[in-house]
Amino acid sequence: MDPILEGRQLHTRRQFFGRSVLGLGTAALASLLGRDAFGAGLLTAGRKGVPGLPHLPHFAPKVKRVIYLFQNGAPSHVDLFDYKPMLRQWHGRQIPDEVVGGKRFSTMTGTQTERPVLGEITQFRQHGRSGAWVSSFLPKTAEIADDLCFVKSMYTEAVNHAPGITFFLTGSEMAGRPSLGAWLSYGLGSETEDLPAFVVMTSRDKEASCGQIFYDFYWGSGFLPTKYQGVAFRGSGDPVLYLSNPAGMSREVRRGMLDDLAHLNAIKREEFGDPEIATRIAQYEMAYRMQTSVPELTDLSREPESVLAMYGPDVKRQGTYAYNCLMARRLAERGVRFVQVMHAGWDQHRNLNTQLKIQCEDTDAPSAALVKDLKQRGLLEDTLVIWGGEFGRTPFLQGKIDEVKQWGRDHHPYGFSLWMAGAGVKPGFSYGATDEFGFNAVENRVHVHDFQATILHLLGLNHEQLTFKFQGRNFRLTDVHGHVVKPILA
Amino acid sequence: MFNPWTLARPVLFAAFLAGGTQAAEKIDFNRQILPILSDACFHCHGPDPETREARLRLDQRDGLFRTREGVTVVAPGQPDASELILRITSPHEDEVMPPRKVARQLKPAEIDLLKRWVAGGAPWGAHWAFSPPQRPAVPVPADPQLAARVSNPVDAFIFARLEREKLAPAAEAPPETLLRRVTLELTGLPPTPAELDAFAADRSPDAYERVVDRLLASPRYGERWAWDWLDLARFADTNGFQGDPERTMWPWRDWVVNALNANMPFDRFTIEQLAGDLLPGATTEQKLASGFHRNNMFNGEGGRIPEETRVENVFDRVETTATVWLGLTFTCARCHDHKYDPIAQQDYYALFDIFNQLSETGRNQGGGQVPPVMDLSTPAEQERVKRANAKLDALARRVDAFELKKFPRPEGRPVADSPDAIKLPGNLYATHAKVEPRRRNINGLLEALPHFQATDPDPEYAKLLEEHIAAVRERDNATARITRVMIMDELKERRETFVLTRGSYEHKTDQKVVGAIPALFRGAAEAGGARARPAHGKIAGPSGADSPPAAAPGEPRLNRLDLARWLVSPGNPLAARVTVNRAWQAFFGTGFVKTAEDFGVQSEPPSHPELLDWLATEFVARGWDLKALHRLIVTSATYRQSSRVTPELLERDPDNRLLARGPRHRMPSWMLRDQALAAAGLLHEQRGGPAVKPYQPAGIWEEATFGKKTYQQDHGDALYRRSLYVFWRRIVGPTTFFDAGARQVCTVKVARTNTPLHALVTLNDPAYVEAARVLAQGALATATDDSGRVDQVFRLVTARRPSAAERDILLRRLATLRGQFAADPKAALQLASTGEAPRPGSLDPVEHAAWTALCSLLLNLDETLSRE
């Protein structure tokens, strides 16, 4: 469908429904419900979705939904995507001071006097027609190289995980600002009523070697109303907290209870006139629907074996990265706006030689399968997939060069890589570059705020105009910075 | 004729707040013009010199009325000679203001208003909130009937305004509604049937006032109001961030409850929490109170640069202080002069200097008990640590002996020296092989166990590792339980404070700053020259507290105690206002100033400015007496109105800012839980002490911490303690609460939203299901017939009896439920056994389950969930 036309229709629909359906509870909903005391009419009237702000999107979007495969802990760009022959040549020799330029590092290497260059521990080869360099640790990703748009000149400001991740996801290093997904559900609303607009799923490496924690402010709503915060699907048990009826209460019993609850609430509304009561009726009805839609979402019995196989052996195990990638596709199909899949375990300070390979094995097939799967279903045409961490890793060694087993790399904010795939970005394209040591982003540098501005742009949003007034100031995701990276746009 | 009702809503609302529906053209600069100038112009023509364009300042009188090179910005009475008006109406792209590329454009109605303001003589005034509150005369409603309903001055202001709006207040709410409202409001718990009966029977004219006095005197009062303060104070039971170690700050929480119950005057409440440790001869309690500013998060992430953490903590203290006692956002001024409010970056760092003198280093020491701390441990706690250590020692010796066989190497050498150690992955090599068993930590052990299980199945070793994990956990738990409260102190050798470029701890400028109150509050004369020089003599002491000289004579640098005293002195125009506003917000859902966190130039003008100032001055005149303030509000006729609303009134005043009806809101989730426990008779009213861990779905902590923290649910009475005492892990708060402050940063206003996820909590959380089934037990045990039982439960949760129609619906539902559960007695028993509270074996499970479902329905009624 023509996105502009669609945008216009959406706009008309929004005008009709006003901003009433959630939270604001205005007279519009009251009058709608007045025609149907139980509110069922409202919810089955064929309308799909929850409106966002009336004047959005600002322009025709290329992307309807985003799946962000966030790699917590910071994957080593110089071992995976950013091939620098210099590193092997200089292996073991002190990295030149003029490259480091007195920059700060975490306390783990901040005081280390020796900073020998560490050659990549993997093998690089070019792939596809685009000739993208991809590490031997990521064979499946290499297969889809021509679908990927690499940014190899990312840089950020944080040197530690929590601030770094918070910066990527909220635009600020300090916790408490709305996250990207919250901004999107606030601005654009949702295309589904049966599922949350913003879903988060987390997993970690099997060895639990890293200590990074998934803080809820990674998907928080900050000063936006809490209904915009991400809903974290759990890795075990009910994916949504308290989704299941208590033991012994059947769906029929619950249905009957809710019917009378709505009835009693409707009586109250008639008598009291508070439109919030109408909202309450809708709220309980939506909860009931979620009790159906979520089990349907997680029921994999209809997935063909061939599809499951692509995602790898862990795909049926709830709480794994593979399972979450498949679930991301299923959520995207059902109209969820923003899916944030987070996988921890990339923080190889002293176990690069053992852990990086395992980490790649766990994530390579599922990430690639997701892109392929979306593509074969035509969903990649309006879905954007992003793969990346909060920073990169030092091209020099953390540890001692003769203690091979304990080789590692420290946090590195000055240049690193990520990739995107899908709607709106050039496939088989690589943008920007670091210097010959993979140390500093030097060519077409992309700051985190630029990256965020670009994502918003793809969704039809001007990052300078998606704002929320709080404490007297109009806040936005990109603070007061950010430029759309136009050269990567398709 | 100007009719504001025909305009777009934001402007309409500004006019509406200003109290005028008529075009009698008395434009109030402060409330109507300043917000427009601030929002649309100050970014480039405001306080921040860095971004100021054309050397033009519109935030000051001089700039606004300036004439330069023959051009006058604003010429009173002459819109056509005013450059400001010419610019905002200019048809030329290169002339028009704001520039077209800027997001914030003026609306036609705003342009019109600015024109009329200039035409009307352009009256000017400084932002209202920066001048001290002036006590206004109490108005008298013209209508004698209305005047007769005035219960106290609160009503006089509210009614006078309603009269101007041609609205009338609603009738008083029915007694049971009123009793439920005020009881929940003041104590956080619902009234009992006996209290309802007594109130209904009490015909004396002061029956309500006596109820209010009873509630204010109840120890539950402090427990209820502590919640709001804990949100401001970002109180939690853990540090937050990596590892999220546990704290023992609960004695501070109990201090707050006790202070509120004792009705400690708010000025003293302030001083003791900000600077109790600096009071001469500070008592243990006063030092404890100073823990307020140790409640912030603490980032002890591995690799973290301590100074970065320390500086961030100081930022948090500065900004929290500004939010709580000034209602101002200082955050912007961390990096540059404020864009809207007259707060310079220097002002920020002058406050920073005051909080920069804590001995905290930023280093991650002591887990959740980062020095300085005050030891409040008991012998029992110390004994537990001793025992845990002894057990760990014994176990470590066994591990050592076993490993000597398993990883052969010379005795006295670490496992790393064994040839087998090379097989271990890098992490384990470091945390396991190189470390002697006694010193291994929980993280390494948790990694080791699955590794050995996967690569080297050796049941004996695995068992030993499991025991080792248990012993280390117990040692860690015991150590973490030693009660040490983080408090404030003051370095002997003061840290020098420099303005930081863009707020970066690494980039000190050479601009040295010393502790001072913001220039804005120092008066015009001082603001110019001696910027940092405080007006010592003008800093008044708190009521009742002794007030020695603030600092050494000749010492120009303010410390925390000076600041605390100033905050509650007449020199600060904001503390009483923001406090009164927050109270109003708690009772009516929205404060006079809707942006309770911001009273700056960009804030929304107050709905009832005179009442706000009257209450602020009254509050101070009564000695900062919080209970008196609460009493004044809840005994007003305004508060006692029915919350029923007509379609006309709803359209006229959808958000109830004018208060022609009583407040009606969904209660906070913590209060809902307390209400359910109380209605069921489950509530265990034990006051104070360490936090408790009630029901929580399995795996929440484990998932968030990679299995490093396990939630060990409590049993027995602890399950039924008030929500205030529920353990708050900062990185993953208690799941039973929704729309709650995250306790990560200072929160002044929590959201009130309605999502399906919230409905799932009150429908399915075992805490609520258990309350339903215990409610059912109570009903089955006391009342004699179904109607009586329905009435009983209905009244426990709503304070009233159901109407015939409502009763009828419920009885029919009951019949259906009976049929449904009779068909599945096994399911019936499951439902009727939810939770750990005892269940009489004699109860018929089918009957019990049917009633449980019915009670669950009643616990989810909109009326039950709302304070009506």
Judged by DSSP in three states, A467 sits in strand
Pairwise CB contact (< 8 Å): A236 & B703:
yes
Tens digits of residue pLDDT in B645-654:
998 898 888 8
Per-residue pLDDT at B802: 98
- Three-state secondary-structure class, residue B10: helix
pLDDT computed for residue A19 by the predictor: 31
Cα angle A109-A113-A114, degrees, rounded to a multiple of 5: 90
Tokens of A224: 């936006």
**How close is the nearest chain A Cα to the Cα of B510, in Å?**
21
Alpha helices in B233-294 (DSSP H): 250-261, 266-275, 284-289
Using CA atoms, how far apart are residues A298 and A301, in angstroms rounded to an integer?
Answer: 9
Mean pLDDT of B306-331: 95
Buried b (16+ CB within 10 A) or exposed e, A303-317: beeebbebbbebbee
In terms of Cα–Cα distance, which of B476, B390, B366 is closest to B710?
A: B476
Query: Which pLDDT band, with edges at 50, 70 and 90, does B301 fall under?
Result: confident
CB-CB contact of A65 with A337 (8 Å): yes
Residues, chain A: 490
Of B603, B650, B735, the CB nearest to A273: B650
Token pair for B861: 């009624």
**Nearest residue of B to residue A411, measured between CA atoms:** B303
What string of DSSP letters covers B513-542?
A: E-----GGGSHHHHHHS-TT---GGG-PPP
Tell me the pLDDT tens digit for each residue of B350-372: 999 999 999 999 998 888 899 99
Taking only the tens place, the pLDDT of each residue in B40-99 is: 888 888 888 888 888 888 888 888 888 888 888 998 888 888 999 989 888 888 888 998
Contacts of A318 in chain B (CB under 8 A): none
Q: Highest mean pLDDT: which of A398-412, B126-140, B208-222?
A: B208-222
Which of B59, B753, B801, B846 should be substituted to probe chain A, the one whose Cβ sees the most A Cβ atoms within 10 Å?
B753
Residue B38: closest C-alpha in chain A: A472
Flag if B603 and A472 touch (Cβ within 8 Å): yes
Q: Which amino acid is at A232?
A: A
Which of B37, B593, B757, B857 is the best mutation test for A, with the most CBs of A within 10 A? B757
Closest CA to B796 of B78, B190, B9, B183: B190
pLDDT value, residue A337: 95
Q: Is the pLDDT of residue B730 over 50?
A: yes
- End-to-end, the C-alpha distance of chain A in Å comes to 18
Lowest mean pLDDT among A85-99, A385-399, B735-749, B822-836: B735-749
Given a contact cutoff of 8 angstroms between Cβ atoms, the answer to whether A363 and A343 are in contact is yes
> Among B767, B721, B768, which residue's Cα sits nearest to residue B864?
B768
Give the pairing of strands A338-344 and A198-204. Answer: parallel
Report helix, strand or coil for B304.
coil
* Contact indicator for B32, B14 with CB cutoff of 8 Å: yes
Model-level ipTM above the cut of 0.95: no
Tokens of B588: 């009516």
If you write DSSP's letter for every residue of A5-73 in order, what string do you get?
HHHHHHHHHHHHHTT-TTTT--HHHHHHHHHSTTSHHHHHSS--SB---TT--SS--S-SEEEEEEEET
For the segment B551-595, what is each residue's pLDDT rounded down to a tens digit? 444 557 999 999 999 999 999 999 999 999 999 999 999 999 998
| Residue B531 structure tokens | 């910027």
Dig out the tokens for B244 from the structure.
């999220």
Give the CA distances from residue A435 to residues A80, A132, B22, B848, in Å, rounded to whole numbers and listed in that order. 16, 17, 68, 73
What is the C-alpha to C-alpha distance for residues A266 and A429, in angstroms, rounded to an integer?
A: 57
- The structural domains of chain A, with segments of one domain joined by +, span 3-56+249-290, 65-241+301-488
A-chain residue closest to B820, CA distance: A253
Write the CA distances from A464 to A267, A474, A476, B10, integer angstroms. Answer: 46, 10, 7, 21
- Please give the model's pTM, rounded to 2 decimal places: 0.81
Q: Report how many Cβ contacts below 8 Å link chain A to chain B.
A: 302
pLDDT at B9: 36
Enter the DSSP assignment of B617.
Answer: H
Is B770 strand, coil or helix?
Answer: helix
Residues B512-542 have pLDDT tens digits of: 999 999 999 986 334 333 333 333 333 444 4
CATH number for the region A65-241+301-488 comes to 3.40.720.10
How far B81 CA sits from the closest chain A CA (Å)? 31
Q: Greatest CA span in chain B, whole angstroms?
A: 100
Q: Taking CA atoms, what residue in A is nearest to B845?
A: A248
How large is the average pLDDT for residues B740-766?
88
Q: Do B699 and A236 touch (CB under 8 A)?
A: yes
Helix axes A321-333, A352-376, angle to 10 degrees: 20
Give how far Cα A437 sits from Cα of A127, A154, A394, A418, Å: 22, 15, 10, 17
Nearest CA to B659 out of B169, B199, B202, B80 is that of: B169
Chain B residues in contact with A271 by the CB 8 A cut-off are 644
pLDDT of residue B527: 35
Residue type for position B800: R
- Cα A84–Cα A86–Cα A90 angle in degrees, nearest 5: 135
* Listed residue (B40, B143, B48) closest to B84, CA to CA: B40
Of B699, B705, B833, the CB nearest to A213: B705
Identify the closest residue of chain B to A166 by CA–CA distance.
B241
Give CA–CA dist A148/A490, Å, rounded: 12
How many CA atoms are closer than 13 Å to the CA of B684, on its beta-carbon side?
A: 14
Chain A residues near residue B595 by CB distance under 8 angstroms? 471-472
Mean pLDDT by groups of 10 residues along chain A of 490 residues:
42 33 31 31 46 88 97 96 96 92 77 87 95 96 97 94 93 89 93 88 73 80 83 87 96 96 95 88 90 92 95 93 97 95 91 90 97 96 97 94 88 97 96 96 97 97 91 85 95
- How far apart, in whole angstroms, are the C-alpha atoms of residue B589 and residue B749? 10
Would you state the pLDDT for residue A4?
44
CB A134 within 8 A of CB A142: yes
Q: Which residue has the tokens 């109860």?
A: B843
